[in-house]
Amino acid sequence: MTLATLGSAVPDFEIAATGEKTVKLSDYRGKKVVLYFYPKDSTPGCTQEGQAFRDNIEQFKQLNTVILGVSRDSVKMHEGFKCKQEFPFDLLSDQDESLCNLFDVIKMKNMYGKQVRGIERSTFLIDEAGVLVKEWRKVQVKTHIAEVLSYLQSAA
């Protein structure tokens, strides 16, 4: 299995998204892409993280950056989550875990004393040429968006 690695081009992918779209990474050439992986729609941390991206969307746009959220939820679930939270960006449905595997975000986690496979909250920055330039793993929701914006501003 190929993994996306820092400093290398991310393989072009094609995946179902909200808005009855199929998104390809190559569709965003010329823009930076923030690809954020989160465990599950409509859960407290995931909602808070999405809201923080939503509330700062203009700053990301000024930095020529597109936001894309990814989880294993269905497009139908994503549509409800996106609509309720008024997210101005697409959510990608990775039900077969192909994107999760590409970025190595599926981990064993403790949930109520049991080991379960789940998405480790992670964010990846892909530059205008499709190269992976930064990754944040084991993201802390409260400080994360500020970290991403700070990095983008310093790299501008």
Q: Which of 10, 15, 33, 46 is catalytic?
A: 46
**CA angle centred on 19, ends 138 and 137, rounded to 5°:** 5
100 is catalytic: no
Cα 31 to Cα 44: distance, rounded to the nearest angstrom: 30
Residue among 21, 26, 5, 13 at smallest CA distance from 128: 26
One-letter amino acid identity for 106? I
The first and second tokens of residue 24, run together, are 């390809």
Residue 71 φ/ψ, nearest 5 degrees: -145, 180
**CA angle centred on 70, ends 59 and 36, rounded to 5°:** 40
Quote the DSSP letter at residue 86.
T
Q: Are 60 and 99 in contact (CB under 8 A)?
A: no
Q: What amino acid positions are annotated as catalytic residues?
A: 46
